[in-house]
Structure formats: C-alpha cells, structure tokens
Amino acid sequence: MCFDAPSWYELVVEGRKIAGSAQTRQKGVILQHGSILQDIDIDELFDMFIYKNERLKLKMKEAFVEKAVAINDISDEHITISQMEEAFEKGFKKGLNIELKPLELTEVQLAEVEELTEKYRSDEWMFRK
C-alpha cells in the first residue's frame, strides 16, 4: 500500500501520510499518479485483504490509522472531489508553469476503456491465482 510509510518528500499532516504519489518528467511529458484519500472506511479497506488471522488484521489496521489519514478527517470543512480537482489543476498550472488541455477520447478509445473496465471487474480477473 502506498500509504504504508511516508518518505521524506511526501505530504504528511500531523505525522500521518495524506498522499501517496509518484511522478516522472521525460521528453517534455509529465506522468503523475497517486492518491489522496478524500474519505476512508478503514473496516471496508481492510476487509479487501486476506490475513492469516484476525489478530494480524487488527494489528495492520491499527498501524495504518497511525500512519495515514484522509483529507476530510483533518479538514474543518468537507472537501469535495470537484474542489480537489480544481486545486490540483491550479497547483499544476502554477507549480509547473504550464497550461493544461482537456483530453477528449475518441469512440475507439472509449470502447477500449469499456472493454478494459469489463476485463478488470470480472471475477475471473479479480480471483485469478
């Protein structure tokens, strides 16, 4: 999990990691990926994983809560996805001194997205060994 432990260069609030991300810039192209938890249901998150026993699961949950935090857990007001998107856009424009252009997918690309969505949502993919 990218929220397991913060590195020196990552965003930390009150000692807990608020963002997990990575980026690279090559040949004039920026690749950024990561996550900022808007909200989190700890029980639901840890129910997604298989543990040897309940004691280990509880230990992992407790460690996670000490190391990671969602933005709405520390904000005085509820932050929406739209607000987060706007903040990212402004931050990238200002921080990198760039203009962003909207990407419009072609019909072929949209069909490929749908195909990949179906593939990765399937039980066959999710429960493969």
The ranges assigned to domains in the chain are 12-99
| Beta strand residue intervals within the chain, DSSP E | 12-13, 16-17, 19-26, 29-36
Residue 22 has pLDDT above 60, yes or no: yes
What pTM was computed for the model? 0.66
Cα Rg, the chain, nearest whole Å = 18
Which two tokens mark 64? 């996670």
Question: Tokens in use for 65?
Answer: 């809560």
Residue 2 pLDDT? 57
| Mean predicted confidence (pLDDT) in 102-114 | 97
Give the Cα separation of 101 and 79 in Å (integer).
25
Phi and psi, residue 35, nearest 5°: -150, 145
Q: How far apart are CA 127 and CA 117, in angstroms?
A: 16
Q: Which among 124, 5, 19 has a CA at the least distance from the CA of 66? A: 5
> What is the per-residue pLDDT for 112?
98
Q: What is the pLDDT of residue 21?
A: 82
112-128 tens-digit pLDDT = 999 999 999 999 999 98
Q: How far apart are CA 60 and CA 108, in angstroms?
A: 43
Task: DSSP letter for 18, please.
Answer: -
Supply 44's token pair.
Answer: 């639901």
Active site residue 2: yes
Q: Give the active site residue among 2, 19, 45, 79.
A: 2
